[in-house]
Structure 1
Amino acid sequence: MKPSARVQSAIDLLDEIIVAARDGGASADAIAKKYFKARRYAGSKDRRAIREHVYAAIRRWGDRPESGRQAMLGLAAEQPDLRALFDGSDYGPAAIKEGEPVARGAQVPGWLADKFAGPIDEQEQKALFDRAPLHIRANARLVADSIVEATWSEAVPLALPHSYALPAGTQVENSAPYRDGAIEIQDLGSQAIALAAVASKPGLVLDLCAGAGGKTLALAAMLPADSKIIAADTDRGRLSRIEPRIGRSGADNIETILLSPGKEMDSLEHLKGKCDLVLIDAPCSGTGTWRRNPELRWRMTPKRLAQTTELQHRLINLGSELVKPGGRLVYAVCSLLDAEGGDQAEAFLADHRQWQEIAIDLPLGRPYRGGTLLSPYHDGTDGFYFSCLEKL
């Protein structure tokens, strides 16, 4: 493919991604995979170049452009070499017309710029678009640290037990340690939340929004074999992904429960007032994961954020009913917005006088509004807010 044809392909692909982001459709990665599957003529260099154009546009524009052409024209306005490819040639983009709409603005959506937690200043926000590191967790149950070090001499130990960084691009999922359950891919921030959650050595644990089970498996690796961990979620597809991971990990103390959205308590009634720990890794805007998923900026709107915070409020209250006296609730979001973090924790504590915040000693993170803040710039992790609460 000619360079100009690659630009037009990026525009076409961005058009699909923009519509999906607006309408809550498939992810950019899924759309790109389908796009290239239908275009076998595109060679590996073509696919790589097209992807680079697409993700450069996604990372550059915080506010969702109206079209793929607007997105690429915005880049072209900043890159003369790219602008030259808008030449009207066969299979390439049409020549630029005077006054044609062009994407503009900052990387952070304008309506979100003043909603970040206090410490997340302009420098911190800029780090949200750096390349994300590759972190893994060695399975403590399998004494896997020696396996990691023997397999990857370049593995760098991180601040938490059993945590390592590997060079970007390392083919972890094709490795024997991954297939054998000796390691899991998991961001250091996510590992920190699991470590904070097990500080009280809980016996009965509910992971209320377990998803594909990353934190569930981390909890299982840190807790004694006689503990019981229940992984629950309303998303059948995501929850089903935990089963093969459980098999690889060797954990035999995990059970799963599929919940009905809005009727979660129907399946959790038997746990009321009995859990030593309830972990709520709540659905959120994902602002803390923009390094990995920059298109999330195009999906979130003020209305969707309001709906998400309402769900978070309901989940933290639901989870609190399942905790026994002396037990703990850990509320976490991969978000750096006050509305999803500190606001939620402080509102809960204000309305529930029988609960108190518990400080957790970790080698990373900053105390912030009833909890802990983790960020790419300060900690080298994804962005998280989490709060450890104890029922009196």
Structure 2
Amino acid sequence: MGQAWPFRVGLDAVERIRTLTPAARCSAAIEVLTDIAERRRPAADALKDWGLAHRFAGSGDRAGIASLVYDALRRRASAAWIMGSDAPRAVLIGSLRLQQGLAAASVAALFSGERFAPAPLSDDERARLESGTLEEAPPEVAGDAPAFVLPELTAALGDDLIPELKALARRAPLDIRVNALRGGRDDLMPALEAHGAAPTPHAPMGVRIPIGADGRGPALHVEAEFLDGWYEIQDEGSQLAALLADPQAGETIVDLCAGGGGKTLALASQTRNGARLIATDGDPRRLAPIHDRLRRSGAAAEVRTPRSGKARADVLEDLDGTIDRVLVDAPCTGSGTWRRNPDAKWRLRPGSLALRVAEQSQVLDRAAKLVRPGGRIVYITCSLLPAENDAAVAGLLSRWRGRFDAVPAQTVLAAGPPGLASAVRQTAHGLQMTPLRTGTDGFYVSVITRRS
């Protein structure tokens, strides 16, 4: 994994802590970025391996290194442009200027070559830091996005392409959803006051927690209120998508791609356990966390876990044609979550997009078989790409010609909070949330009704 980290095994704990200066963290970040580039692996895996190999590094040090790595990945293309190189060192240097706004002198202080600091800046590196500009950079560089998705993103974002991509390159906020099965948002706010909590701009049960300079928020998953099921960590966009699904008490609802259960829990909260909820997923491994989350939150849902293997039975076959509402939180490229997963955009390939589009067609067709006449499919992605959004819905409408209709976005938005309608982008078959317009991850929602 790149150059060996230069710590002596015999250092005592005090010395080990002292050596992880900001400059030493830069050296570690370059090492992790090198591992990511050479092995084409997720950043989380590379960071985990670095931490396991350097156990002397405390949680604060690991968080600081992770912040440097993710910021560098957020601005990988633009940092490489101004530095004239896409080497991990150059990308980190460029990101310190572009993402953190550090002047050349401040970067030079970190890259001093002393002790565990990276080697000193060269004359060329210093000159590029001082005079490099993005004025003539192409859109994929200025917006830090893969070039092959630019046509799709342009179709979705129009004149806001570069501002939206820049918003996608910023750090994401930390949002939580208050569980109405435990109480209201006002009931929880005093317990979070010390964290600087404030209501989210749109979601009625959402709370936003400020993140620190290192990009990390407080460890909310160990708070007593979390352990008692008072809240779940969930981006406001995901909360709004569940809200726009408009679940009703008395309905039978299938969460077809439930995964860890985030939206299942939200639907249970919204209906106050008044709906029959059935959660499943094509990948049984993804369902593993849902059981503990249901117990903690008090949410009532039936979990149907498919068996692995080619001969597995359809666990929903007995429900075909009877379901009031099918939630399809579809597998997608995750382009709307690049704020949180910046390395994912650089690992995206045309083949992976094509694979996701095929999976979306399959899961929509399965939902179409489940829903009753007059019932609804709620199609959700965390993507900005029309191929995964409007085009997927159009494909369903074409394959099932005459049997389904897309509900107008204005009608869907009636289930949401006031002010959301003016913030979202309305599309041919749904609506799009974005970091620039709504301050959320990039969620798409379409509601499709089956004709009676």
TM-score by length of 1: 0.86
Q: Which amino acid aligns with 1:162?
A: M
Tell me how far apart the structure 1 counterparts of residues 115 and 95 of structure 2 sit (CA, whole Å): 21
Pick aligned residue for 1:233 from 266, 271, 281: 281
In structure 2, do the counterparts of structure 1 residues 69 and 246 end up closer, same or farther at CA, with 3 Å as the change threshold?
same
In structure 2, do the counterparts of structure 1 residues 273 and 76 end up closer, same or farther at CA, with 3 Å as the change threshold?
closer
Tell me how far apart the structure 2 counterparts of residues 165 and 72 of structure 1 sit (CA, whole Å): 29
Q: What does residue 239 of structure 2 align with?
A: 191
Q: Residue 10 of structure 1 aligns to a residue in which SS?
A: helix
Displacement of 1:110 after TM fit? 1.9
Displacement of 1:202 after TM fit? 5.9
Q: What does residue 13 of structure 2 align with?
A: none
2:432 aligned with 1:373: yes
2:205 aligned with 1:162: yes
Tell me how far apart the structure 2 counterparts of residues 386 and 229 of structure 1 sit (CA, whole Å): 20
Within 5 Å, which residues of 2 pair with 1:204-223? 204-223=252-271
2:267 aligned with 1:250: no
Tell me how far apart the structure 2 counterparts of residues 210 and 177 of structure 1 sit (CA, whole Å): 24
Looking at secondary structure, tell me which structure has more helix per residue: 2
Q: What does residue 146 of structure 2 align with?
A: 109
Contact 1:230/1:256 (8 A) holds in 2 = yes
Q: What does residue 5 of structure 2 align with?
A: none
Contact 2:247/2:267 (8 A) holds in 1 = no
Size of the aligned set, in residue pairs, is 386
Contact 1:137/1:184 (8 A) holds in 2 = yes
My pick for the range that moved more, 78-87 or 185-194, is: 78-87
Contact 1:239/1:258 (8 A) holds in 2 = no
In structure 2, do the counterparts of structure 1 residues 380 and 354 end up closer, same or farther at CA, with 3 Å as the change threshold?
same
Query: After superposition, what is the alpha-carbon deviation per residue over 1:311-366, rounded to whole angstroms, capped at 9, x for unaligned?
Result: 11111112111111111101111011111111111222233221111231123233
Tell me how far apart the structure 2 counterparts of residues 4 and 185 of structure 1 sit (CA, whole Å): 32
Q: Residue 152 of structure 1 aligns to a residue in which SS?
A: helix
Q: Which has the higher contact order (CA 8 A, sep 6+)?
A: 1
Q: What does residue 26 of structure 2 align with?
A: 7
CA RMSD of aligned residues (A): 3.2
Contact 2:433/2:443 (8 A) holds in 1 = yes
My pick for the range that moved more, 241-250 or 355-364, is: 355-364
Q: What does residue 406 of structure 2 align with?
A: 357
Q: Residue 141 of structure 1 aligns to a residue in which SS?
A: coil
Tell me how far apart the structure 2 counterparts of residues 163 and 77 of structure 1 sit (CA, whole Å): 33
Query: After superposition, what is the alpha-carbon deviation per residue over 1:116-155, rounded to whole angstroms, capped at 9, x for unaligned?
Result: 1145522122111222122222111222434312312443
Q: Residue 278 of structure 1 aligns to a residue in which SS?
A: strand
Where does structure 1 lack aligned partners over 5 or more consecutive residues?
none
* Larger radius of gyration between Structure 1 and Structure 2: 2
Looking at secondary structure, tell me which structure has more strand per residue: 1
Q: What does residue 384 of structure 2 align with?
A: 336
Q: What does residue 347 of structure 1 align with?
A: 395
Q: What does residue 4 of structure 2 align with?
A: none
Q: Residue 304 of structure 2 aligns to a residue in which SS?
A: strand
Tell me how far apart the structure 1 counterparts of residues 176 and 364 of structure 2 sit (CA, whole Å): 29
In structure 2, do the counterparts of structure 1 residues 255 and 52 end up closer, same or farther at CA, with 3 Å as the change threshold?
closer
Q: What does residue 31 of structure 1 align with?
A: 46
Tell me how far apart the structure 1 counterparts of residues 378 and 311 of structure 2 sit (CA, whole Å): 21
Contact 1:232/1:259 (8 A) holds in 2 = no
In structure 2, do the counterparts of structure 1 residues 45 and 318 end up closer, same or farther at CA, with 3 Å as the change threshold?
closer
Q: Residue 164 of structure 1 aligns to a residue in which SS?
A: strand
Contact 1:275/1:324 (8 A) holds in 2 = yes
Tell me how far apart the structure 2 counterparts of residues 290 and 218 of structure 1 sit (CA, whole Å): 23
Contact 2:260/2:288 (8 A) holds in 1 = yes
Query: After superposition, what is the alpha-carbon deviation per residue over 1:134-187, rounded to whole angstroms, capped at 9, x for unaligned?
Result: 222211122243431231244333423322223332432122221111111111
In structure 2, do the counterparts of structure 1 residues 376 and 74 end up closer, same or farther at CA, with 3 Å as the change threshold?
closer
Q: What does residue 68 of structure 1 align with?
A: 88
Displacement of 1:234 after TM fit? 3.0
Displacement of 1:223 after TM fit? 1.9
2:74 aligned with 1:59: yes
Pick aligned residue for 2:340 from 260, 267, 292: 292
Where does structure 2 lack aligned partners over 5 or more consecutive residues?
1-18, 129-136, 212-216
